[in-house]
Amino acid sequence: MITAGCDIGSLTAKAVILENDRILSQAVMRAKTKPAESAAEVMNLALAKAGFDLTGVDHVTGTGYGREQIPFVSSVESEISCHARAAAHLMPSVRMVIDIGGQDAKATRLDENGKVVRYLYNDKCASGTGRFLEVMAEALEIPLEELGRAGSQAKEKLTISNQCVIFAETEVVSLVNEGKDPADIIQALHQALARRVAALAKSIEVREDVVMTGGVAKNQGVFAALEEALRVRIKILDNVDPQIMGALGAALYAQEKARRS
């Protein structure tokens, strides 16, 4: 059985092709202005890697903020459900999923059966999201993907006190003008983001095992800062890109629906 998941987020589009429980292919790209265009392009990329076209797929499930605008899906699911489904599939012991996306952050608690029992998300402010890091990377003139490595060189402990992205950016510029090392500033940014996300998670009670999903999970500086803020060891989902977890969960839902039809 071949199924697919398509996750159209605010900043990136992701697709996963499954054959039973095995990932055949995956694709990630920068999202376009129109969700339908992002969906078509990222799905075509994943299908090309798998070696067939959409006619060979039994069921496609869409997720992400643009899920209702994907023309070729057979069903849709929320991104909260999809990230939880993928995490529980890969690590049945998981009890909390923290997903930091481009423009929101979500904390989800699961029961012993992998079902969502509580969740909370922040989509009102860019602090605590991937966009926060993107803005700060631009201010520091450092590639976004280099932040994790650069922050690991920090020596002096600094604090970013403003939670608002606009004011935090001003604070960063002031620190640069004071001659502070960019590595120290980056570490402070990681800790500021982690504090915001940790407060979200703590408000629904943190329970282990905890996993982190979304593109920001690739940033080891944020990963470490979040462990420190939560005071728990965050588990690593081996051999799976954390950025495709929403699409993987959608493909697993598609598998379930295809089997019932």
Element spanning 25, H or E: strand 22-30
Element spanning 41, H or E: helix 35-50
**Cα–Cα distance measured from residue 209 to residue 213, given in angstroms and rounded to the nearest whole number:** 13
Give 186-211 pLDDT, tens digit per residue.
Answer: 999 999 999 999 999 999 999 999 99
User: What's the residue count for the chain?
Assistant: 261
Taken in order of first residue, the domains within the chain and their CATH numbers are: 1-91+240-261 (3.30.420.40), 93-236 (3.30.420.40)
Q: Which of 21, 74, 13, 2 is nearest to 44 (CA)?
A: 13
Give 27-47 pLDDT, tens digit per residue.
Answer: 999 999 999 999 999 999 999
- pLDDT greater than 90 at residue 104: no
Is 249 within 8 Å of 5 (Cβ atoms)?
yes
Q: Which residue has the higher pLDDT, 108 or 162?
A: 108
Is 35 within 8 Å of 21 (Cβ atoms)?
no
Q: What percent of the chain is modeled with pLDDT above 90?
A: 75
CB atoms within 10 A of CB 133: 24
- pLDDT greater than 70 at residue 110: yes
The Cα-based distances of 178 to 55, 172, 185, 206 in angstroms read 59, 10, 11, 38
Cα angle vertex 197, ends 90, 173, to 5°? 125
- pLDDT greater than 70 at residue 87: yes
Cα angle vertex 58, ends 55, 62, to 5°? 95
User: Predicted confidence band at 96 (pLDDT cuts at 50, 70, 90)?
Assistant: very high
Residue reference for tokens 């423009």: 103
105, β-bridge pairs: 100, 122
pTM, full prediction: 0.93
Cα angle vertex 238, ends 236, 239, to 5°? 140
Is 62 within 8 Å of 4 (Cβ atoms)?
no
239 contacts: CB under 8 Å, gap ≥ 6: none
Q: Which of 56, 98, 86, 72 is nearest to 6 (CA)?
A: 72
CB atoms within 10 A of CB 181: 16
Q: What is the CA radius of gyration of the chain?
A: 19
Give 133-191 pLDDT, tens digit per residue.
Answer: 888 898 899 998 899 999 988 899 998 887 777 778 888 888 988 999 999 999 999 99
Element spanning 122, H or E: strand 116-122
- pLDDT greater than 70 at residue 126: no
Element spanning 61, H or E: strand 59-63
